[in-house]
């Protein structure tokens, strides 16, 4: 089983358990905190991926770090990963859980690249347009990219809506190269 498939399976099992006890939000909050801790702690990442550190030492470390900060259900999940020697997929399993939670809540994640920072009004208008476009609640992930010159590039799943000035200039250049504007020129 690949890491991605294993991560999806563990995340799906955790989601099923969370739905059963109506703790999806609490477990998501726990997992967000764990993901941040993993991201910020090189030592923890090394501990998680080390084949030399025994399961009992990993379990003790996770218990010391998280038992007072997360729900019992989340601790059971962490201990399950360790007992099955799958703690190395923890970050991927967290990511998959968050995706499943978004699906459960009807939220679509949209990535937006802009040349300049959007105002709150522009961001709200864009969110409204994307909610109408997708028919779902939208979570915008905004990034700056001065290379697009102006406009924006929106990624909704596999669909890219490119309204950047750079893209428009490239298309215009291609049309000139094909000679589409030569017949309209006057002498």
pLDDT of 40 strictly over 80: yes
- End-to-end alpha-carbon separation of the chain, Å? 68
pLDDT of 186 strictly over 60: no
User: 3-class DSSP state for residue 71?
Assistant: coil
* Every domain of the chain and the residues it spans: 3-103, 106-177
* Whole-number Å distance between alpha carbons of 114 and 162: 10
Q: What are the backbone dihedrals phi and psi of residue 2, each rounded to the nearest 5 degrees, phi first?
A: -75, 165
Higher pLDDT, 94 or 177: 94
* Whole-number Å distance between alpha carbons of 131 and 135: 5
Q: Which long-range contacts (CB under 8 A, 24 or more apart) does 82-88 make?
A: 82/55, 82/58, 83/55, 83/59, 85/55, 86/6, 86/10, 87/48, 87/58, 88/3, 88/48, 88/49
Residue 171 confidence (pLDDT): 76
For 55-70, how does the pLDDT look when each residue is reduced to its tens digit (9 = 90+)?
Answer: 999 999 999 999 999 9
pLDDT band at 13 (very low <50, low <70, confident <90, very high): very high
Mean pLDDT of 31-45: 94
Of 25-34, 104-113, 171-180, which range is least confident?
A: 171-180
User: 3-class DSSP state for residue 109?
Assistant: strand
pLDDT of 48 strictly over 70: yes
For the chain, the average pLDDT equals 88
Give the residues across from 157 on adjacent strands: none
- What are the angstrom distances between the C-alpha of 106 and each of 65, 97, 123, 166? 32, 14, 20, 33
Q: Is the distance from CB of 139 to CB of 107 less than 8 angstroms?
A: yes
pLDDT of 143 strictly over 70: yes
Query: Counting runs of H as helices and runs of E as strands, what totals does the chain give?
Result: 8, 4
Question: Quick one: 7 exposed, middle or buried, by C-beta within 10 A (0-12, 13-18, 19+)?
Answer: buried
Of 29-43, 133-147, 157-171, which range is least confident?
A: 157-171
pLDDT of 183 strictly over 70: no
Of 10-19, 109-118, 153-162, which range is least confident?
A: 153-162
Residue 32 confidence (pLDDT): 96
* DSSP element (H, E) containing 159: strand 159-164
Architecture of domain 3-103 in CATH? Orthogonal Bundle (1.10)
């Amino acid at each position: 089983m690949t890491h991605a498939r294993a991560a999806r399976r563990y995340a799906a099992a955790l989601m099923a358990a969370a739905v059963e006890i109506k703790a999806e939000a609490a477990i998501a909050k726990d997992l967000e905190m764990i993901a941040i801790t993993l991201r910020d702690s090189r030592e923890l990442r090394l501990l998680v991926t080390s084949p030399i550190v025994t399961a009992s030492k990993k379990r003790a470390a996770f218990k010391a770090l998280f038992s007072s900060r997360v729900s019992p259900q989340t601790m059971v999940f962490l201990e399950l990963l360790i007992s099955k020697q799958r703690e190395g997929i923890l970050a991927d399993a967290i990511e998959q859980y968050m995706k499943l939670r978004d699906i459960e809540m009807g939220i679509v994640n949209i990535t937006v690249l802009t040349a300049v920072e959007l105002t709150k009004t522009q961001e709200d208008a864009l969110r409204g347009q994307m909610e109408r476009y997708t028919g779902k609640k939208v979570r915008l992930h905004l990034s700056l990219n001065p290379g697009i010159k102006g406009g924006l590039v929106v990624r909704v799943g596999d669909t890219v809506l490119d309204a950047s000035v750079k893209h428009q200039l490239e298309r215009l250049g291609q049309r000139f190269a094909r000679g589409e504007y030569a017949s309209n020129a006057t002498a």
